[in-house]
Chain A
Amino acid sequence: MNKYLPTIGIEIHTQLATKSKMFCGCDNDSKTAEPNTNVCPVCLALPGALPVINKGAVELAIKLGHGLNAKIATHTSFDRKNYFYPDSPKGYQITQMDEPIIQQGFVEILIEGEFKKIGVHHAHLEEDAGKSTHPAGASYSLVDFNRAGTPLVEIVSDPDMHTPTEAKRYLQEVYNIATTLGITHGDMEHGNFKFDLNISVSDTDKLGTRTELKNLNSFRNAERALKYEIQRQIDLLEDGEEITQETRGWNDSKGITVSQRGKEHAHDYRYFPEPDLPPLELQVDFITTIQKSVSSVVLPIIVRRELSELGLTSNEQDILIGQAKTRDIFNDTTKILQPKLHKKAVNWLVGDYQAWMTENSEAKSQLTAENLTDLIELVEADSISSKTAKEIFGEVVLGADPNKLIADKGLTQVSDDTELKKIISELITQNPQAVADYQSGNAKAAGFFVGQVMQATKGQANPGKANTLVLKLLEAHTNE
C-alpha cells in the first residue's frame, strides 16, 4: 500500500478579530445579539448600499503575512464571486481572486524531529455569509444575517503535505500563529477557524484526482478524515476504479467521509473585478509600521525551535505553545533551574500539571517557577521521593512552598544509610524464608524486602537507595 503517495493541500478560513465587519460599520461580535439585529444596509445588501474596506482587517492581514513569512502586496484588489443562496445577501461574495493581499509565504512544522516548510500559496481577504438554519420538519428555512460581512482571511497552502499528521501539524501551526498574533479569537467551536482539505493519492509522478473535504473545524477530525479518505482512495485504485473529483463531508459519528455532490452542479462563480472598490494601494511605510508593531511578538516557530533543542516532543511543544501561561511558567523556570533539569520541568508541566488543570482549572493555578524549581530540586537531592513530590504537587500548584510543606509534614525522605541498614537487617532476621528464596536464585525476593522497607518508612525511604542496600545486605548475609 505504501506505493501510493498522498498529497494534501489546505484552505483555512479564519474569522478576523476586528471591531467591525469587513465592509460596513456593524459590530463584528454578534454572540449576544438577537438574529438580524446586527445588520445595516450594507451587510443586508439593500439597494444602493456600497462596501467600504475595513482598515483594521487589512492591518490584521498584514500582521498575519508577517507570521506566515509572506510578501504583502502593495497593490491588491477585490473580486466578486457570484452565486445565489439566501445567506449570501448580495448574490455575490466580495473576495480576492487575482491580487490577494498575502502572497508566497511558508509555515514550518516539526515532523519526526525535523522542521519542514509548507508553502503558503497566498492568503486573501473576504467576507463571511449569513447563517442558514433549516428547522427539522419545517417547511421553511431561516437566515440570520448577523454573521454576513464578518471579515475572513482564507489561507491557501501549497500541496506540500503528504501525511495526515503533516496536515494536522500545519493546521495547528497556522492556528498558533494566528492566535499568537491576535488575528483571530480562535474559537473553533464558533467557526473562527475552519478548513477545507484537498487530498489525492498517486503511485506515479502525476497527481491523482483530488477530493475536497469541506468545512472541518477540529484538528483531530482533520487527521481522522484524511486517514480515512486516503485509504478510501487507495482501495478504489487497488480495485481498478476511478476517483471522482468531488466535495465530501466528514461524518464524525460514523468516522467516514461522504459525498456531498447530490443535485448541485459544478458552480460557475463568474468572478470579475469588484467595481465598487478601487484597487487597494498599500504604502510600504504603512506595511512596515504594522509589521513592526508585531515584530516583538514571539512567534510559535521561535518557541518551537527552543523547545525542540531541549528535546521536547511535538506533543509536549504543542502544550506549551498552546498555553501561554504554562509557557510563561516554563520560561521563568528555565531561568532559575539548572539546564540539565529543564526536561524535568517539562515533564511536570505537560504531565501532572495538565491533569491537575483538567480536574480543576487553569484559573485556580498559583503555580510559580520558584516553587516548581524547588520541587524538582528537592527530588533531585533525594530529599523527597518522586512519590512524595507527586502527592504534594496539588498543594504546590495552589501556591504552597514545597520546602515549608515537607518540613511541616515531616516528609523528608529517609536516605540515611545507617537508619536504612538497621531496618533491613531487622527484616532479614525476621524473614528467613524470603532470604532462603533469594539465595536459591529468586530475584523477586529482593523486591519483597524493598517493599517492606518502604512500608516500614511509610514511603519516605529513597527506593533506589533501599534497593541497593537490600541487595548489599542480602549478599553480605549469604556470604556470612
Chain B
Amino acid sequence: MADLAYLSIAQAHEALQSGKVTCVELTQYYLDRIKKHDESIGAVLTLCSDTALEAAQKVDEKIQAGKDMGLLEGIPYTAKDMFLTAGVRTTAASKILDAFIPPYSATVIDKLNSAGAILIAKVNQDEFAHGGSTENSAYQITHNPWNTEYVPGGSSGGSAAAVAADFGIFSLGTDTGGSIRQPAAYCGVTGLKPTYGLVSRYGVVAMASSFDCIGPITRSAEDATLVLNAIQGRDVMDSTTIESTENHQSSKDLKIGVVKELMNDSRYSEALKAINGLGKKNDVTLPDGDMALAVYYVLVSSEISSNLERYDGIRYGSRNDSATNLEQTYSLTRAEFLGPEVQRRILTGTYALSSGYYDAYYKKAMQVRTLITQEFAQIFADCDVIVTPTTLEPAFKIGSKSDPVEMYKTDILTVSANLAGVPAISIPAGIDEKTGLPLGLQIIAAQGNDAQVLAVAEAFQKTTEWHKKVEEIIQ
C-alpha cells in the first residue's frame, strides 16, 4: 500500500484510479488515524465508520468494473457539525440538539454525496458557530495539531484541526465572520469563504443568514477549487443563492492591493516577496476594522436572536421537563441547553432589535454595512485582489481569552469580507517564530470573483512551501 499521508484530492484520485490503494483502505486509513490521534486533538464529534466503509466498498466495485471516476469519487472528508446529515446526529455542538438526528441532508452534503465523496466524521465547532476558538463547544475542546496547548481557532476549529491532522482530505466549514479563514490560519491550512450566496445554505444550521457562507477547508488552493466546483451554484431551496460564475483572470497583469500597515510585519516579509512575483502591488486601506467589528456584532447577534428562536424544546431537541407552564418551558429549556456565549448573543441581538433601539443599532449598522460594501467596490475598481494577514496574531493558548470581546477581536481582519459578501481565502504564509505556529495570509476579491481568489492562492502556493509544513506536525 502506498504512503497515504497528506494526500491531495488529485493524488488520492490517482491512487484509487490506478489501484494503488482501494477506497476501503483509504477510508480505513483516515478512520485509523482518527482513532490514533483524536484523543489528543478532539476534533471528532460523531464518527461515520459504517456508512463510510459501505460507501467506500461501492466505490471499489465501481473501480473494479472499470468505470470512469469523478475527481471527488471516493474522497473521504469531514464536515462541521452545522451540516445536517440525514440519519447522522447533528448537534451544532449544542446540548439543545444533543439527540437530534436530521431527516434530511444539507444541499452541499447531497452534492458531495452525488459526487461520490465519503463523509467519515462530523467535527467539532463552537456551539452554533459562536466563537473563535472552538472552546465554546458544549461537548469538548479541540486542540491545535501544531501544539495541543493552543486552540485551533473557530468556529470551524474541528474542521481545520481535522485537515491539519490528516483526518480526511478536506472538510466543510461555515464562515460568518471568519470561522473558516481564522481556524485555517491557526492550523496552517487553506480555508475559503466564497462569495455570499455562491454555496447553498439549505440544511446548514443557521447562524446569521445574511452572513453565513459555506466553504472548504483543505491543504491547498487547488483542492479548495475542486471542492468549490462540486458544491457551488444556484439551489432552488435557498433563495439567496446565485449562479456560479467563471471569471478567472490571467495573473499576468494582476493588480494586488496590499494593506501596508498590516503587511509591514517582519513575519510576513517572505510572503510579501512571493506576492511580488504574482503581479503589480499598490497600497490600499481596508474599511475601519473596529467599526466593521462593531457593526458585525450588532447585525450578527440580531439575526442569531431570531434564527435561534426555533430551538424552543417544542418540536425537537432537548427540553427541560420540570417546567410547569409555557413560559418556563422556554426559559428553563433555553437556559439549560444553550451555552453562555449563545445566550449572550441572543440577548445582544434581542436588545438591538427591540423597539426604541432598532434605529440606533440594527438600522444604523445596516447603513454602515452598505458603506463598507461600497468601500470594497471602490477598492476593487483599482485592484483585482487585496492581501492582508488573516489574523493579527497566531493561535492563542487554550483558556487564555476569557473576555468575550477579546475573543471577538480575533475576527477583526475577517469580518469585513462577510459584511460585504466578497470571497476571501486564508492560506499559510509564514511561521511565527515565537510560538512556532503558522500564520495565515488572506486574499480578498470582489463579489463573484472566487476564481480570482483561488487562482492567486494557487499561484502563491506554487512558489511557496508553507502549506506543506502541516505535513510535518503529526507523523
Do B239 and A275 touch across chains, with their CB atoms under 8 A apart?
no
Do A47 and B358 touch across chains, with their CB atoms under 8 A apart?
no
Do B209 and A91 touch across chains, with their CB atoms under 8 A apart?
no
B70 to chain A, nearest CB (A): 26
- Residue B186, interface by CB 8 Å: no
- Residue B238, interface by CB 8 Å: yes
Closest to B97 in A: A47
A444 to chain B, nearest CB (A): 75
Closest to B238 in A: A50
Taking chain A's interface residues, is the majority helix, strand, or loop, or is none over half, making it mixed? loop
- Residue A298, interface by CB 8 Å: no
Q: A47-B90, A275-B210 are in contact. Are A82 and B306 (CB under 8 A)?
A: yes
- Residue B302, interface by CB 8 Å: yes
- Residue A68, interface by CB 8 Å: no
A198 to chain B, nearest CB (A): 20
Please report the total number of B residues contacting A with Cβ < 8 Å.
Answer: 42
Closest to B82 in A: A48
Q: A48-B84, A50-B201 are in contact. Are A278 and B239 (CB under 8 A)?
A: yes
- Residue A119, interface by CB 8 Å: no
Interface positions, chain A 71-104, Cβ under 8 Å from B, are 80, 82, 84, 86, 89-92
- Report the Cα distance A196→B362, complex, angstroms: 31
Do A49 and B309 touch across chains, with their CB atoms under 8 A apart?
no
- Residue A350, interface by CB 8 Å: no
Q: A41-B103, A44-B315, A275-B303 are in contact. Are A50 and B309 (CB under 8 A)?
A: no
Interface positions, chain A 298-356, Cβ under 8 Å from B, are none
Closest to A87 in B: B314
Q: Which of B237, B306, B316 contacts A50 (CB 8 A)?
A: B237
A127 to chain B, nearest CB (A): 14
- Residue A389, interface by CB 8 Å: no
Do B202 and A49 touch across chains, with their CB atoms under 8 A apart?
yes
Do B205 and A48 touch across chains, with their CB atoms under 8 A apart?
yes
- Residue B310, interface by CB 8 Å: yes
Do B239 and A50 touch across chains, with their CB atoms under 8 A apart?
yes
- Residue A246, interface by CB 8 Å: no
- Residue B250, interface by CB 8 Å: no
- Residue A46, interface by CB 8 Å: yes
> Which chain B positions have C-beta within 8 A of A268?
354-355
- Residue A416, interface by CB 8 Å: no
- Residue B350, interface by CB 8 Å: yes
> Which chain A positions have C-beta within 8 A of B306?
80, 82, 91-92, 270, 272
Q: Which of A48, A141, A272 contacts B206 (CB 8 A)?
A: A48
- The 7 A-B residue pairs with the shortest CB-CB distance in the complex, in nearest-first order: A91-B309, A275-B209, A270-B353, A275-B210, A48-B203, A45-B310, A47-B205
Q: Which B residues are within 8 Å of any A CB, using their own CB?
A: 84, 90, 92, 97, 100, 102-104, 106, 201-206, 208-210, 236-240, 302-303, 305-306, 308-310, 312, 314-316, 326, 330, 350, 353-355, 358, 362
Contacts A50-B238, A89-B315, A278-B240 aside, 9 further interface pairs with beta carbons under 8 A come to A48-B203, A52-B236, A82-B353, A91-B310, A91-B312, A270-B305, A272-B306, A276-B239, A276-B240
- 25 A-B Cβ contacts within 8 A? A41-B203, A45-B310, A46-B102, A46-B103, A46-B316, A47-B84, A47-B90, A47-B102, A47-B205, A48-B204, A50-B202, A51-B239, A84-B312, A86-B314, A89-B315, A143-B314, A270-B305, A270-B355, A271-B353, A275-B208, A275-B209, A275-B210, A275-B240, A276-B209, A277-B239
